Structure 1
């Protein structure tokens, strides 16, 4: 299963495909059918690019993206959830298809049972996604 997830995700902004060249990501780098997590507000810094076709990442630590997400883009045709805990646990933020959040410091948050938690910060709290 990890191999399947590995085939669907790409971290941009670190080392690109062995090129050794660091790159800055941008919102426009998030393509069709992709979910993109960004290290900085306003879609800046490193980007984790996830191809949506059934891809869930139960632990963002393996992608060196645990607890560092500050903005997110959902270019997939499905609603997604970004979870606070590893293994799709804890509170979460959900994004409808095409939705973007430039700043996760004041967003609608839900409890793991789907009930409303309130508006609060989710900056640097993402640990899994599905």
Structure 2
């Protein structure tokens, strides 16, 4: 009887260790070190480029822009619309991100090769719904 109980106890401990090990593996941030590809715009679920990323074909260098984010997902499967907290514009073009679909509502510009958090400087956290490339903004008021 003691041999049977020791075997059962040993199997139970092995199973517990395996389950705990798998919990740590699942909770590790596998995408935390995602590097936005050159010539691409990357939206992130969390601020400062953390969390799951999302890349859209229409926002690759020279792309036409994306009028609606609700058809797109972060890499973890969460819908992009109204869920982005930061963006990396890894292109040579200026980018405008909008709080509403169809390039409407509040907007925020992101310079070429620049980063932005959506903290109310134009677009608020978790409100981005569309984005497009724009011509370089006018910086000399006399010429605008």
TM-score per shorter chain, which class?
0.5 to 0.7
Q: Map Cα deviations across residues 2-36 of structure 1 (whole Å, 9 max, x no partner).
A: xxxxxxxxxxxxxxxxxxxx94243x520111111
Q: Which residue does 1:57 correspond to in 2?
A: 66
Q: Which residue does 1:87 correspond to in 2?
A: 102
Instruction: Give the match's secondary structure for 1:29.
Output: coil
- Name the structure with the higher strand share: 1
Q: Map Cα deviations across residues 53-108 of structure 1 (whole Å, 9 max, x no partner).
A: 3241111010020001101101111100110111111110011101112x32142x
Task: Could you tell me which runs of 5 or more consecutive residues in structure 1 were left unpaired when the two chains were aligned.
Answer: 1-21, 110-120
Within 5 Å, which residues of 2 pair with 1:1-130? 23-26=30-33, 29-50=35-56, 51-63=60-72, 64-101=79-116, 103-107=117-121, 109=122, 122-130=124-132
Query: Aligned in 2, Cα 1:68/1:88: closer, same or farther, shift over 3 Å?
Result: same
Pairwise CA RMSD: 1.8
| TM-score, normalised by the number of residues in structure 2 | 0.60
Bigger Rg, structure 1 or 2? 2
- CA distance in 2: counterparts of 1:55 and 1:69, whole angstroms: 20
Task: Could you tell me which runs of 5 or more consecutive residues in structure 2 were left unpaired when the two chains were aligned.
Answer: 1-28, 73-78, 133-144
- Shift >2 Å, 4+ stretches: none
**Number of equivalent positions:** 95
| TM-score, normalised by the number of residues in structure 1 | 0.66
